[in-house]
Amino acid sequence: MYKKFAVSFSLLIVLTLLFSACTPPPVTTQAPPAVTEAPPTTTEAPPAATEEAPPLPEPGVENHLVLATTTSTADSGLLDYLLPGFEEEFGVTVDVIAVGSGQALKLGEDGNADVLLVHSPAKEKEFMEAGHGVRREDVMYNDFVILGPEEDPAGIKVMTSAADAFTKIAETESTFISRGDESGTHSKELSIWKAAGIEPEGDWYVSSGMGMGEVLTMAEEQQAYTLSDRATYLSRTKEGIDLVILVEGDPALFNPYGVIAVNPEKNPNIQAELANQFIDWIISVPVQEKIGQFGVEDYGQILFYPNSTLWKEANP
């Protein structure tokens, strides 16, 4: 079973600095339609942590692949569904670091991951242009949805434009919980505020710095609005979440995912060959078909749509 490492942003920064200060020893062994263009609150303080967070895995461990990825692929259950097949076929363990896309890309830039699975197209492009990655492939897509309490105090339910909905939330100063963590979801949220011509600020706007699962919990407790990828939201409905989808279907809410092999020059122990094997595997038609089946039995709909070049060639 793959290993998942959940870390806070501050801990992530500290640990990343530690990794950059050390030179690893050398290793001698090696539904929405398809889119073609990226178009009650508790007052008690949480209990003190009794255990330290696990250390980040380090590239170069034999028969281990370090995958830095967005929280949505972990929180939705997709990784639990997919990765055992890869581990069995290739005889490896996948060490997963589930953080925001921006943090995942930073791990790749610093040479602290072998391969990335993220959903932040503009940042992915910058990453590749800067030479931090050597290969990028489309993998899948889904969409973002604007969630809120069923009572909908801002009155956005009849809207079809995400920017108009955000404008109404701001005008009514209805509580909005933001990821605030440089994730792909946060980047998408900021682009919507920009399209609305609004700089969100004030007591109504809460920048949490947390992952999608935690943000959904906060929004539930405060009966607030938030932006979520559809897959993570649907996975949380099995836990009885009361938030409902209020706005969906705007092309601006399109959410593509890409996989990137980190440049092996970043760290002499990066598992470049294994990273490429992972990419070949996840974009293959059989795995793409499996991605397209994920969630259908439980939710009656596809959570992630296959989108690799191989898949599109086989399904014109």
CATH at residue 188: 3.40.190.10
Question: What are the backbone angles phi and psi of residue 213, rounded to the nearest 5°?
Answer: -60, -45
Specify whether 138 is located in the same domain as 148.
no
Q: Is residue 163 part of a domain?
A: yes
Furthest CA-CA distance within the chain: 61
Which stretches of the chain score pLDDT less than 70? 1-62
As given in the structure block, the two tokens for residue 46 are 């949480």
Co-location of 131 and 181 in the same domain? no
Are 92 and 173 in a shared domain? no
Residues 169 and 231 both lie in one domain: yes
Tell me whether residue 2 is in a domain.
no
Q: Are residues 75 and 137 in the same domain?
A: yes
Q: How many structural domains comprise the chain?
A: 2
pLDDT of residue 267: 94
Q: What SS3 class is residue 215?
A: helix
**DSSP secondary structure code for residue 251 in this structure:** G
Domain-located, residue 183: yes
Packed helices 285-293 and 78-90: angle between N→C axes, nearest 10 degrees: 150
Residue with tokens 């919990």: 217
Composition of the chain by helix, strand, coil, percent to 5 = 40, 20, 40
Residue span of the structural domain in which 158 resides: 143-253
Q: Are residues 248 and 122 in the same domain?
A: no
**Co-location of 111 and 149 in the same domain:** no
* 151 and 138 inside one domain: no
Beta strand residue intervals within 29-171, DSSP E = 64-70, 93-99, 115-118, 133-148
In a domain, 292, yes or no: yes
pLDDT given for residue 33 in this prediction? 44
Q: Are 113 and 119 in contact (CB under 8 A)?
A: no
* Domain-embedded: residue 158: yes
Are residues 155 and 136 both part of a single domain? no
pLDDT computed for residue 239 by the predictor: 84
pLDDT at 14: 32
Domain-located, residue 24: no
- Predicted confidence at residue 29, as pLDDT, reads 35
How far is 53 from 36, CA to CA, in rounded Å?
A: 40
* Judgement on whether residues 95 and 151 belong to the same structural domain of the protein: no
Task: Give pLDDT tens digits for 56-90.
Answer: 565 656 689 999 999 899 989 999 999 999 999 99
Say if residues 187 and 219 touch (Cβ distance below 8 Å). Answer: no
Which residue, 253, 282, 304, sits at the end of a domain? Answer: 253
